[in-house]
């Protein structure tokens, strides 16, 4: 059974389809192809698993594939340039459709290429990682990284659809699966306290990839993100709550040169954001501990690398898209399900969090 959610953006609204065997569903896929040309963008790891299946389902179209290197370290202007070179070499027109088959890196690069190639062409997100499925594939944020900061070069460009085939998660390595769970936890913290409680009660089910539990977690997460994006497409206000933990997490990624997966960095970042919220007097100590305990229960890291100094973290956080007129904004929480974006926070509290290391979220 396929579940359908909608990102409500007026004429640019689009569906999120969540189900099984969707990569083989030729009629479903064909609905979202703009013209006769299709370029499937993927990486070598995913191509070996799913490229032929998707090509077969799109056999009625003129299909070619661009296989990019795998890894966050390749989310660069150079890789983006290789994709543009491929589109030019294969004479893709303005009516072409790019299909992002892969995780968040592939989705972001493909979306950015779609936003800029011939001033904008259609694209479809086909996420194959849990993190991409519940987060980066939804909402139209596209980007590549700069050596000084993550996602600093990009554009808003909404897909025609997000087609999430849960069967692809069966081949996902456990580390990458858990990185996606981190983003699922985020939704409970920022928007849905009842969902957070459900996650606390279903750790074992999600760790074992129980299909019913996973389906509920995915649908709930995508529903929350779709509602937030529908209310604030370009992050003028509300949408920034989706970055809970990300300002800290992006700094960790940049400083460690992506030694940690995105979801792992966000997991640490959420604990740090909860700790800062607690030190600011916004969040009670019990709730801060619950956030840290749940993240740890999923086997995710909860403290930053010991070699990262407070000064280095603060400097890296300054190169963040949420900095406005030189003022750092943080996504903090006043309680489970109640996140806020603010630049009026206690600087001493932030300094204490950055210095705390392994003592985060302690009384």
pLDDT per residue, tens digit, the chain (363 aa), is: 899 999 999 999 999 999 999 999 999 999 999 999 999 999 999 999 999 999 999 999 999 999 999 988 999 999 999 999 999 999 999 999 999 999 999 999 999 999 999 999 999 999 999 999 999 999 999 999 999 888 999 999 999 999 999 999 999 999 999 999 999 999 999 999 999 999 999 999 999 999 999 999 999 999 999 999 999 898 888 999 999 999 999 999 999 999 999 999 999 999 999 999 999 999 999 999 999 999 999 999 999 998 899 999 999 998 765 555 568 999 999 999 999 999 889 999 999 999 997 788 875
Distance between CA atoms of 274 and 344, rounded to whole angstroms? 16
CB 277 within 8 A of CB 332: yes
DSSP state, residue 210: -
Show the tokens assigned to 339: 């996140």
Q: Which of 11, 27, 119, 201 is the catalytic position?
A: 119
User: Was domain 3-171 assigned CATH 3.40.50.1970?
Assistant: yes
**Euclidean distance between CA atoms 282 and 204, whole angstroms:** 31
The matching CATH number, chosen from 1.20.1090.10, 1.10.3720.10, 2.40.50.100, 3.40.50.300, for 177-359 is: 1.20.1090.10
- Is-contact 84 110, C-beta < 8 A? no
202 counts as catalytic: no
Distances (CA, A) of 98 to 176, 198, 204, 329: 24, 37, 37, 34
Domains 3-171 and 177-359 share a fold: no
Pull the structure tokens for residue 342: 């603010």
Length of the chain: 363
Determine whether 134 is exposed, middle or buried from the number of CB atoms within 10 Å of its CB (0-12, 13-18, 19+): buried
The three-class DSSP label of residue 269 is helix
Q: Which of 267, 343, 344, 359 is nearest to 310 (CA)?
A: 359
Backbone angles phi, psi at 143, to 5 degrees: -175, 165
Nearest 5°: CA angle at 296, between 294 and 300? 120
In the residue annotation, 262 being an active-site residue is answered as yes
* Distances from the Cα of 314 to the Cα of 250, 271, 307, 320, 355, angstroms: 11, 16, 14, 11, 10
pLDDT of residue 41: 98
In angstroms, the CA 157 to CA 114 distance is 8
Annotated active-site residue 90? The verdict is no
- Active-site residue flag, 119: yes
Is 239 tagged catalytic? Answer: yes
Q: Can 72 be counted among the known catalytic residues?
A: no
Distance of alpha carbon 156 from alpha carbon 12, whole angstroms: 12
Alpha helices (runs of H) in 21-140, residue ranges in sequence order: 26-30, 44-46, 52-57, 77-89, 104-116, 130-131
- Tell me the C-alpha distance between 293 and 199, whole Å: 12
> What ranges do the domains of the chain cover?
3-171, 177-359
Q: Is 157 a catalytic residue?
A: no
**Is residue 243 among the annotated active site residues?**
yes
Name the active-site residue from 183, 233, 253, 264. 183
* Separation of alpha carbons 98 and 95, rounded Å: 10
- Beta pairing, strands 14-19 & 3-7: antiparallel
Q: Which residue has the tokens 């690069």?
A: 109
pLDDT of 319 reads: 73
Could you say which of 75, 150, 186, 225 is catalytic?
225
| pLDDT of res. 322 | 59
Contacts of 123 by beta carbon, 8 Å cutoff, 6+ apart: 97, 98, 99, 100, 110, 111, 114, 157, 159, 160
**Which residue in the list 72, 176, 235, 264 is annotated as catalytic?**
235
Structure tokens at 295: 């993240």
């Amino acid at each position: 059974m396929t579940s359908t959610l909608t990102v409500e953006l007026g004429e640019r609204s689009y569906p999120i389809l969540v189900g099984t065997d969707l990569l083989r569903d030729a009629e479903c896929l064909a609905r979202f192809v703009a013209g006769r040309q299709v370029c499937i963008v993927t990486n070598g790891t995913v191509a070996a698993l799913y490229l032929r299946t998707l090509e077969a389902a799109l056999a009625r179209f003129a299909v070619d594939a661009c296989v990019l290197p795998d890894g966050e370290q390749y989310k660069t202007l150079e890789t983006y340039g290789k994709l543009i070179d491929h589109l030019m070499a294969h004479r893709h027109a303005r009516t072409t459709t790019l299909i992002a088959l892969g995780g968040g890196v592939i989705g972001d690069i493909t979306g950015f290429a779609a936003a800029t190639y011939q001033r904008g062409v259609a694209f479809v997100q086909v996420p194959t990682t849990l993190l991409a499925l519940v987060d980066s594939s939804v909402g139209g944020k596209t980007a590549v990284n700069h050596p000084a900061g993550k996602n600093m070069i990009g554009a808003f460009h909404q897909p025609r659809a997000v087609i999430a085939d849960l069967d692809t998660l069966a081949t996902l390595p456990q580390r990458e699966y858990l990185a996606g769970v981190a983003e699922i936890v985020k939704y409970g913290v920022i928007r849905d306290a009842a969902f957070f409680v459900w996650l606390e009660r279903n750790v074992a089910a999600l760790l074992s990839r129980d299909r019913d539990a996973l389906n509920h977690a995915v649908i709930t997460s995508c529903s929350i993100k779709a509602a937030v994006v529908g209310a604030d497409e370009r992050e003028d206000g509300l949408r920034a709550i989706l970055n809970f933990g990300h300002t800290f997490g992006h700094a960790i990624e940049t400083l460690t040169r992506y030694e940690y997966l995105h979801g792992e960095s966000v997991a640490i970042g959420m604990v740090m954001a909860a700790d800062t919220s607690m030190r600011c007097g916004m969040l009670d100590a019990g709730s801060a501990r619950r956030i840290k305990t749940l993240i740890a229960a999923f086997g995710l890291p909860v403290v930053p690398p010991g070699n990262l100094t407070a000064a280095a973290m603060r400097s890296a956080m300054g190169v963040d898209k949420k900095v406005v007129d030189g003022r750092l904004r943080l996504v903090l929480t006043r309680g489970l399900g109640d996140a806020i974006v603010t630049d009026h926070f206690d600087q001493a509290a932030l300094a204490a969090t950055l210095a705390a290391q392994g003592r985060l979220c302690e009384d």
